[in-house]
Amino acid sequence: MDFNDMQSAWNNDKAENVVIPTNLEKLQSAKTPLDKIRKNLKKEFVYQIISILFLGFIPVLYKFTPLVITAFYGLFALFLVICAYFLAKLFLFYKRLNKANTNTKDNLYDTYFDIRLNMELYKSFTYSVMPFALAFVTMIILKDYSQEIIDVILNKKSGDFILGGLFAMFIGVMTSAAFITEWWVNYFYGKYAKEIRKVIDELKE
């Protein structure tokens, strides 16, 4: 075999193996949306901590009466327990993303599944704390009328009307929160998860 034949065989060999760098390129392309998810998650984790600290000072900022302060911090203690649980889960998820290996299709699929699972966890967290947020806002609005409200509620006729109005407001706020949460999770995480899923599907072809 002369030099020209050897060069031709080498060129043919490279053409047959072109699929390997293509697959590697596709795997590498998943790192961009993964980095964006990490960035958004890190920012949001900080914002969540700041928001929780701010909520703790609401009675001082709005000068709640002693009765409202007692009710507020009773709810706030339970709120903190729920937040601590979910934020710990999200922090561990963030740590896993930092160590995520996307060099193989199987690893990329595991990372994608973890992202989808934690998107649902994020939604559950939001739905869990929404009633507390609504209660805190209600306390701020009605902070100067706590005793009057208790007296009205104890009056059955007026109390039923007020409780009915509060229930309707609760349903309205929760429905709106559900739509906003779905949009928020999809905008900051879902669209990047879809990009990763697209890479996985391309690797199957």
The amino acid present at 71, given as its one-letter code, is A
Q: What is the DSSP string of 94-117?
A: HHHHHT---SSHHHHHHHHHHHHH
Kindly tell me if the per-residue pLDDT of 153 is higher than 90: no
Kindly tell me if the per-residue pLDDT of 19 is higher than 50: no
Domain segments of the chain as ranges: 22-204
How many Cβ atoms are within 10 Å of 152's Cβ, its own excluded? 15
How many Cβ atoms are within 10 Å of 192's Cβ, its own excluded? 22
pLDDT of residue 155: 63
Q: What is the pLDDT of residues 177-203, one digit of tens each?
A: 889 999 999 999 999 999 888 888 887
Listed range (39-43, 132-136, 200-204) with the worst mean pLDDT: 200-204
Percent of the chain with pLDDT over 90: 36
116: pLDDT confidence band, cut at 50, 70 and 90?
A: very high
DSSP secondary structure letter of residue 187: I
Per-chain mean pLDDT for the chain: 80
Sequence-distant (6+) residues with CB within 8 A of 8 are none
pLDDT of residue 144: 62
pLDDT of residue 104: 75
Listed range (119-133, 137-151, 167-181) with the worst mean pLDDT: 137-151
Kindly tell me if the per-residue pLDDT of 20 is higher than 90: no
